Amino acid sequence: MVIHVCDESKNLKQDFTCPRDLLIREMRYFAEYLSVEAQRWEEVDISVHCDVQIFDWLMKYVKKGLMEKGKKVDEKPPKLEPNNVISILISSDFLKMDNLVNDCISFCHENMSAIVSTPCNMNCINDKLVTRISELFNHNELDEVKDRKDKFKSKLFCKKIEELFDPNKTTICSPASACTMYRCSACHRLITQESQERLRCALSRMTIDHRGRVTFSHVRDPNWDVNEYIQGLREKFKSWRDVYWRLWGSVNILYCYRCGEYFPCCELGHCRYHTSSADFGSHKGTIVGVYPCCQQRVLPFDPTGQ
């Protein structure tokens, strides 16, 4: 088959040849146009509007299979480079070259910092491909990507935010999901279904359960909107990376062995604790003690746990 390639940007035209069976196997886009009837596909004229150098690369990639079968082909198997992988990714996705798309996405994952430093246009990557690239990154790897002009890093962090709110997706990056997140009107904390029984609320929402344990019941704020909250974070931080980490820190909780409380990761370092035990003095019957560190008075038994 003869393929006519037109490169309008460089005002170039070039013809490429490829066996029909190999063409429809490697570039499935053409399969629906090339009928199995020989009389019909011989009449088909194939014209492609593409960068000549990129299509030449694709032809070398397609024909590398001929080398594996022992046939002589002059071209060597081509290699992906940071300055060509995006163009090849977009073209291979259009031509339905699934194996090459997978190779390009893996290359992007391994070399993203080098890719964004080239003059390539990252805006041409469609949403489906952005999602697939994002899925290969964990948030620590993504944080390490060096993207001085922010050509692509923010898009990947936006995908990570979508993952946080996807009820059907759990990742090792975030054990907790934000799909049930709401704000409590009493304590003004961000709460999820997983954290609502562990995070403290205002003292007015404290109760004692049937086992004598202190529990808190949060109250959903009906006027709070998660979309407005996220947009507010974007305006505040000016970075989707920082928005992601604030959301991640709000939904994932840890336990502090120093103060004995659960807390969201965004409050790490907020622990308030006494450096030593309360001093109740040496007199018997003393019911009020004092913490030496801050002179706060304390009772032997405080049902609020404060």
- The pLDDT assigned to 84 comes to 95
pLDDT in tens, 198-233: 999 988 888 888 887 788 899 999 999 999 999 999
* C-alpha to C-alpha distance for 297 and 293, rounded to whole angstroms: 11
Largest interatomic CA distance in the chain: 109
Q: Give residue 270's pLDDT.
A: 78
Residue 237 pLDDT class (50, 70, 90 cuts): very high
Summarised one tens digit per residue, pLDDT across range 28-62 is 888 877 765 555 556 677 888 888 999 999 999 98
Alpha carbon distance 48, 235 (integer Å):
44
| Residue 255, pLDDT score | 92
Local confidence band at 24 (pLDDT 50, 70, 90 cut-offs): confident
| Predicted pLDDT at 21 | 84
- pLDDT given at position 35: 62
Contact (CB, 8 A) for 116 and 152: yes
Residue 74: pLDDT over 80: no
Between 147 and 73, whose confidence is greater? 147
User: Any idea what DSSP says for residue 276?
Assistant: S
The answer to which of 80-84, 114-118, 212-216, 291-295 has the lowest mean pLDDT is 291-295
Q: Residue 75 pLDDT > 60, yes or no?
A: no
Per-residue pLDDT tens over the stretch 242-278 = 999 999 999 999 998 887 889 999 998 777 766 777 7
Please state the rounded mean pLDDT for residues 165-179.
88
> Is residue 77 predicted with pLDDT exceeding 80?
no
Residue 158 CB neighbour total at 10 angstroms? 17
Residue 48 · residue 5 · CB < 8 Å: yes
Residue 37's pLDDT is: 59
- According to the model, what pLDDT value does residue 297 have? 76
